[in-house]
Every structure is written in structure tokens, then in C-alpha cells.
């Protein structure tokens, strides 16, 4: 299990009636000594501990006191499920048993590293594309091993992946099989009621949202969402809760994938593979986790096809107008990680950022009428001026008319705005190496 320090102390848990507390120094299952609590989840808490004889560090996962009978059964069966899966990309179960008060206890390998969710948040909301691909290939390999064992995870998401180092190599480990589904003929008790929805809304496949049984490709969909988020810093569907869920169920295409400000352009095939994993029709997704992992690994050796990527990444439909604003920033602003983080977070969900020049950034709005877009642009400019002072600003409205605007057209507009700002235009895009 993963180690994430908790602020809770033993003196503070007096009012916590849910958590089944293990005290430091307590001996459990006659073989393990408790060190401290490190995290808590919906159905259990995790404590750091070690073996009595060899002093090997372990994670002790104990269920909450108020778990339902079904939750208790799922918790107890997680050890049996994990025992069936042997793979470097899946957390290992070492032991299991029952506490004196009847609570289930799992003994897991101790994973000392951040979750993928924590990594994304610490890196301005996204990861370099090669790192994102390598980590998600590891997740796919772990999930493939689970599928071969007859197990569907059903809750793949960045917070259920822990990244550890084995030597100098980053290794992604899939954790939390608490709501996993297993083959009916594998000797496990069936715990899912027909039509029951289990998982995390933003990462669930359309078939899960409609109450249909989860399939292997449902996990592939969740990994597609995870990789999309790692690459772009955003989820495939805007909105929260049921609004995004209904978009999936209705077959609405996900938002186009665009590299964030400061990110290297990735191969066009990578976007195509992610979008294939997000196909609303399960039969149109990659046939297996291993198959998708193989395709993604092949992308690591490819260069970005700049012209093809630009033509496919962004198409503004005919009859649509878009607002484009460019701002000249103080020298060196775009070489600062802190400033890039500010820009990404300011524009996220509102506008697509562009590099307009060495020290100039642009924002392209694709939503809203003329008045609404102008108001949003005014707000963006105010925010930039509050941070950078009296900056030079240039604006342009692109009218698609009877034809479509491709990203090349938008890049041409960026060049025009750069001239109006009196800054060097952006250099020609370079292929990645």
C-alpha cells in the first residue's frame, strides 16, 4: 500500500468512531507490530508496521467499524483477489486475517511513493508525455495481469496508482481492489447486485454508468481517462457529476487533446490511441490492456508529426467565431515553472493557451457569444495585469464564415498578433525527439 502521511495523531482520534484504530506498538496477527497511521479511505485505514522477527516494513490495511456486510465481504476478499495476481505493477498482498473484534486486516507490501494524483498536482496539473505514457503503460500491464486472473478492477484512477522507484526506474503500482469484480466461476462470492454502479464517476465507462456489467475494456476506458488527464491537465468531459456522466452515456466526443503551455508536442498517434480507449462503444476500444500498452510503447519511439497533429488537434467549425488575445509578458516569464503554473491554472477550462513569442502568451476562447467572450477576455487581461503590471495586449476575433479554421489558421493569427505586440513571432514547431 501507499504511504501518505496523515495529520491525525493518536490523541486526536477519540471522536472518530469509524476508524478501527491500531495503536503504535500494538501486535496484530501475532506477527506484525504497528508503527503509525498513514492514510484513511472510504472503507478502511492504512497503518505502517513491520514484522516482529525480520523487521520488514509492511502496510496494514484495516476495515472501518461501520462497514456494511457487503463492504466487509469485499474487504476480506481483496486479499484473495490480490493473491491471484502476480505482477510488478500490482501491489502485493503478504498476509491477511481477522482482528480480535472481527475486523478484517490485510498485510500488503509497503509502497513508499506518491500517488499518480499527487504527481499530477505537483507538476502544474500534467506530466511530460513520455513520462505519462511510461507510467500508464505500467498501469496497463498490471491491469492486464489482473484480467488474465479473471479480475476487473472497476476503479482505476490516478489516486489508485502509486509510483515508486526500483533503482532508478519509475514503476507504477495499481492498488485498491476493494470493488474489483472476479469471474463467477473463480470460487469467490458474488457481491455485485445487477444494475449496481461502482467506481468513480469521472473515470467510469459509459456501460458502467448505465448499470451494465463492467468488462475488461471498462478498465481500459478508465486508463484512457487517466492518460488523457496526465497529458492535458484536464478531464475529457467538462462539467461536474452527472453532467459529464450524461455526455459519456450520450456518446458525446471528448474535448480535443491539446498539449498544455510548455509541453512538448506528442505524436498524433498518441492522441488517436487515447481517444480509441475512450470510445463509447466497448467493442471499438483496444481489445486488451496489453494491446494498448504495446501501441503506446511504440509511440515512445516516434516523433511528433507537426503538420498532421496541427491539422487534427483543433478544428473550429464553420459559422463559428473565436476570440484570441495575446499578451507580452516581462522577459523570462515563460521560462519560469511558477509562471507557467499560474498561466495554466488561470486559463484551465476557459481558454486554450498558445505561445505567441519568446515572452508572449495567447489565449483562444472557443465558447460563448461575442459579448460573453469579450467579457471573459477582459477578465483574463485584468488577471494578467494584476500579476505582471501594465502589459501590452493585442486582440483579434476570427470569423470562420463558410469554411473551417484549422489550427494552422490560428497559428497564422498568432503570428499577426505577435507583430502587433512588437515581439518576435513563435518559431516553427519542432518535432519531438
- Residues marked active site are found at 155
Strands 161-166 and 104-109: unpaired
Q: How far apart are CA 110 and CA 95, in angstroms?
A: 13
Query: Which helix (DSSP H) or strand (DSSP E) does residue 107 occupy?
Result: strand 104-109
Q: Are 374 and 301 in contact (CB under 8 A)?
A: no
Q: Are 432 and 304 in contact (CB under 8 A)?
A: yes
Strands 93-98 and 104-109: antiparallel
CA-CA-CA-CA dihedral for 85, 88, 89, 91, to nearest 10: 60
Q: Are 306 and 429 in contact (CB under 8 A)?
A: yes
Q: How far apart are CA 45 and CA 35, in angstroms?
A: 13
Q: Could you tell me the CA-to-CA distances from 137 to 111, 130, 144, 163, 224 in Å, in that order?
A: 19, 10, 10, 12, 11
Q: How far apart are CA 264 and CA 432, in angstroms?
A: 7
Among candidates 180, 215, 201, which has minimal Cα distance to 286? 215
Q: How far apart are CA 411 and CA 323, in angstroms?
A: 13
CA-CA-CA-CA dihedral for 259, 264, 266, 271, to nearest 10: -10
Contacts for 121 with CB less than 8 Å, ≥ 6 apart: none
Q: Are 59 and 125 in contact (CB under 8 A)?
A: no
CB atoms within 10 A of CB 231: 24
Q: Could you tell me the CA-to-CA distances from 77 to 64, 83, 98, 182, 336 in Å, in that order?
A: 15, 10, 12, 10, 49
CB atoms within 10 A of CB 23: 11
Q: Could you tell me the CA-to-CA distances from 255 to 191, 204, 276, 284, 424 in Å, in that order?
A: 35, 17, 13, 18, 31
Q: How far apart are CA 152 and CA 178, in angstroms?
A: 11
Amino acid at each position: 500500500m501507499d504511504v501518505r502521511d496523515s495529520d491525525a495523531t493518536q490523541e486526536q482520534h477519540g471522536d472518530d468512531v469509524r476508524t478501527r484504530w491500531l495503536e503504535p506498538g500494538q501486535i496484530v496477527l501475532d506477527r506484525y507490530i504497528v508503527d503509525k497511521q498513514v492514510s484513511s479511505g472510504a472503507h478502511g485505514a492504512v497503518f505502517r508496521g513491520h514484522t516482529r522477527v525480520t523487521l520488514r516494513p509492511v502496510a496494514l490495511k484495516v476495515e472501518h467499524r461501520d462497514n456494511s456486510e457487503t463492504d466487509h465481504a469485499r474487504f476480506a476478499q481483496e486479499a484473495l483477489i490480490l493473491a491471484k495476481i502476480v505482477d510488478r505493477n500490482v501491489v502485493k498482498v503478504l498476509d491477511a486475517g481477522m482482528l480480535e473484534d472481527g475486523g478484517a486486516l490485510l498485510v500488503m507490501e509497503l509502497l513508499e511513493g506518491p500517488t499518480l494524483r499527487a504527481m499530477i498536482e505537483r507538476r502544474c496539473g500534467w506530466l511530460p508525455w513520455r513520462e505519462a505514457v511510461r507510467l500508464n503503460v505500467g498501469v496497463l500491464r498490471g491491469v492486464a495481469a489482473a484480467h488474465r486472473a479473471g479480475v476487473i478492477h472497476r476503479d482505476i484512477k490516478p489516486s489508485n496508482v502509486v509510483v515508486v522507484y526500483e533503482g532508478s526506474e519509475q514503476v507504477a503500482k495499481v492498488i485498491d481492489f476493494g470493488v474489483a469484480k472476479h469471474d463467477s466461476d473463480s470460487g469467490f462470492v458474488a457481491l455485485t447486485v445487477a444494475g449496481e454502479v461502482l467506481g468513480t464517476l469521472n473515470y467510469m465507462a459509459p456501460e458502467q454508468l448505465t448499470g451494465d456489467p463492467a468488462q475488461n475494456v471498462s478498465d481500459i476506458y478508465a486508463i484512457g481517462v487517466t492518460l488523457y488527464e496526465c497529458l492535458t491537465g484536464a478531464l475529457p468531459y467538462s462539467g461536474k457529476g452527472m453532467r459529464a456522466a450524461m455526455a459519456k452515456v450520450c456518446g458525446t466526443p471528448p474535448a480535443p487533446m491539446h498539449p498544455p503551455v510548455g509541453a512538448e508536442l506528442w505524436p498524433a498517434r498518441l492522441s488517436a490511441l487515447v481517444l480509441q480507449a475512450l470510445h463509447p462503444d466497448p467493442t471499438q476500444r483496444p481489445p486488451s490492456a496489453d494491446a494498448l500498452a504495446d501501441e503506446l510503447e511504440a509511440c515512445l519511439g516516434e516523433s511528433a508529426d507537426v503538420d498532421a497533429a496541427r491539422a487534427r488537434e483543433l478544428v473550429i467549425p464553420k459559422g463559428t467565431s473565436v476570440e484570441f488575445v495575446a499578451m507580452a509578458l516581462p522577459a523570462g516569464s515563460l521560462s519560469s515553472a511558477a509562471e507557467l503554473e499560474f498561466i495554466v491554472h488561470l486559463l484551465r477550462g476557459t481558454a486554450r493557451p498558445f505561445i505567441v513569442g519568446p515572452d508572449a502568451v495567447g489565449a483562444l476562447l472557443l465558447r460563448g457569444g461575442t459579448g460573453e467572450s469579450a467579457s471573459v477576455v477582459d477578465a483574463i487581461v485584468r488577471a494578467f495585469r494584476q500579476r505582471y503590471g501594465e502589459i501590452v495586449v493585442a486582440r483579434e476575433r476570427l470569423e470562420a464564415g463558410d469554411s473551417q479554421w484549422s489550427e494552422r489558421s490560428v497559428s497564422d493569427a498568432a503570428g499577426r498578433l505577435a507583430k502587433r505586440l512588437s515581439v518576435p513571432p513563435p518559431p516553427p514547431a519542432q518535432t519531438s525527439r
